Amino acid sequence: MSLLIKNGRIVTAGEQYTADIYCEGEQITRIGAKLEAPPKATIVDAKGKYVFPGFIDPHVHVYLPFMGTFAKDTHETASKAALVGGTTTIIEMICQARNEQPLADGFEFSLKKAEGKSACDFTFHQTVSRFDKECEDQLTEIVKKGISSFKIFLAYKGALGITDEELYYTLRLAKKLGVITTAHCENADLVLESQKKLLAEGKTGPEWHYWSRPPRVQAEGVHHLMTFAETHDAHCYVVHTSCEESLQEALAAAARGVHVWTEILVEYLVLDKSYAELPNFEGAKYVMSPPLPDKKNQEVFWNALRQRFVSTVGTDHAPFDFKGQKEMGRGDFTKIPNGIPALEDRVNLLYTHGVAEGRIDLSTFVDCASTQAARLFGLFPRKGTIAVGSDADLVVYDPDYRGKISQKTMLMNVDYSAFEGWPIKGRPHVVTVRGEIAAKDGKFVGTVGRGKLVKRDPTHF
């Protein structure tokens, strides 16, 4: 397999220059001017286009049994959608409920689900939904198999959430193993009691979801996590930070020496809580946790991204159909499956609203949508950059493309788009995974099942 990408404007988190990229087999083997290729090589003309490293989504749900139903995508549909949208590696949350199977079985189950089905590369954050000696031993083995990040939930009491005692021992183990712990931070009891109160007052529509978990509920969760992290000097990553209050808690902890990084979601950059207030239950399409924030947070987040106070932009992709799934919560917002599909749209939305609108520059775009996830989660420099020896995961991006997002043309397996009719400026022209062209101008042309588990060593000692 030989691939030559000619005359593109190469953009990494640190550099921008015009050159050719030659890939032999699965890796980049040469970068330079006027490179020659053997006659059998595939040649891509990238003149007038950017060449980015393959994008990495650090927060994706594919197999997700949740709130009495299952997220809609399979690894085939999710990976095709990811690739068409420029994402070449996904990090999926293994989400096994607290009292289900042993953690080791959950890991093997998730691996089997993805292997042979995924067209893009993948890895997992291993959820710790309970903690005891057996879990400790199994987690230690899972880390040896190449999974160097945990996921914990301070929310979803009784289902995925852990107790403070379990939090204490999980972070102690994470520190010992050099594993970074990703965390959903919301105070579970505050959510539960607020939900009960709102429902008792007859406040049952999707617009009340926000009020059951307002910013302080999340900020308290972040504060809580930071206190425990500090105790063990454990490294933590706050997933889906959705409000200024939470960001401030994380930044205050970082300033006193806690090792903490934050993720925001593309949804929080472009949507706000008014979407969950849409009439006729339409707002249910926009119910996720933490809830879409007040619009004033958007400027804070763009500024924080630009200043690199926020490390990554993910999606928390969690697709539930409007019909039959979101509808389960008609008359009771606490039963609306939480989640918004966005895996296919993340890169284009971030480019359109970030780069094209002048809010962030190209290198920041690459850094927060690819490089930082690679660095934090042990994928770098194999993924997340363009360098000799790195995997040939490349996105030749056409900044002049103009189009619209629509459920009718998307590959995510769900019956609505949260961004229906939204214009986009720019999209991937060619996307490669380890040297093979996997997507072209909005079409999947890759190989289902070619995606590999990317093994990761612990780096957070």
Find the binding residues for ligand URP in span 50-89 (CB under 6 A).
61
| Interacting positions 298-337 with Zn ion (CB under 5 A) | 316
Q: What is the footprint of Zn ion within residues 14-33 (CB under 5 A)?
A: none
Report, in Å, the least distance between residue 61 CB and ligand URP: 5
Check residue 57 for interaction with Zn ion (CB under 5 A): no
Total number of residues binding ligand URP (CB under 6 A)?
8
Contacts with Zn ion in 377-396 (CB under 5 A)?
A: none
Query: For residues 450 and 204, what is the distance between their CA atoms, to the nearest angstrom?
Result: 45
- Do the beta carbons of residue 83 and residue 75 sit within 8 Å? no
Query: Which strands sit side by side in the sheet containing 236-238, from one edge to the other?
Result: 55-60, 87-94, 121-127, 149-153, 180-184, 236-238, 260-265, 312-314
The Cβ of residue 283 has, within 10 Å, a number of other Cβ atoms equal to: 24
316 near ligand URP, judged by CB under 6 A: yes
Give min distance, CB of 343 to Zn ion, in A: 12
321 binds ligand URP (CB under 6 A): no
Q: Which is nearer to Zn ion, 50 or 122 (CB)?
A: 122
Q: How far is the CB of 213 from ligand URP (least distance, A)?
A: 10
Smallest separation, CB 321 to Zn ion (Å): 18
> Comparing C-alpha atoms, which of 453, 451, 455 is closest to residue 120?
451
Question: Which of Zn ion, ligand URP, none interacts with 338 (beta carbon under 5 to 8 A by kind)?
Answer: ligand URP
Say which entry of ligand URP, Zn ion, none residue 339 contacts (CB below 5 to 8 A, set by partner kind).
ligand URP
Write the CB contacts of 39 (distance below 8 Å, at least 6 apart in sequence): none
**Residue among 212, 289, 312, 385 that touches ligand URP (CB under 6 A):** 289
Q: Which is nearer to ligand URP, 130 or 151 (CB)?
A: 151
Sites for ligand URP among residues 373-392 (CB under 6 A):
none
| 11 vs 191, beta carbon nearer Zn ion | 191
263 near Zn ion, judged by CB under 5 A: no
CB of 160 to Zn ion, least distance (A): 9
| Smaller CB separation from ligand URP, 339 or 458 | 339
Decide whether 94 or 226 has the Cβ nearer to ligand URP: 94
- Residue among 79, 338, 364, 385 that touches ligand URP (CB under 6 A): 338
Q: Which does 205 bind (CB under 5 to 8 A by kind): Zn ion, ligand URP, none?
A: none
Binding track over 169-188 against Zn ion, x by CB under 5 A: ---------------x----
Q: Does 273 bind ligand URP (CB under 6 A)?
A: no
From the CA atom positions of the chain, what is the Rg in Å? 21
**CB-nearer residue toward Zn ion: 184 or 346:** 184
For Zn ion, the closer CB: 189 or 400: 189
Q: Which is nearer to ligand URP, 67 or 114 (CB)?
A: 67
- Of the candidates 268, 354, 360, the one whose C-alpha atom is nearest the C-alpha of residue 314 is 268
Which of the choices Zn ion, ligand URP, none does residue 209 contact, using the CB cut-off of 5 to 8 A by kind? none
Cβ closest to Zn ion, residue 184 vs residue 460: 184
In the stretch 10-49, what mask flags binding to ligand URP with x, by CB under 6 A? ----------------------------------------
Instruction: Please pick, from the candidates 80, 184, 232, 235, the single residue that binds ligand URP as defined by CB under 6 A.
Output: 184
CB 61 → Zn ion: shortest distance, Å? 6
Nearer to Zn ion, 73 or 316 (CB): 316
Spatial contact of 21 and 51, defined as CB atoms under 8 Å apart: yes
**Interface residues toward Zn ion, by CB under 5 A:** 184, 316
**Interface residues toward ligand URP, by CB under 6 A:** 61, 184, 288-289, 316, 318, 338-339
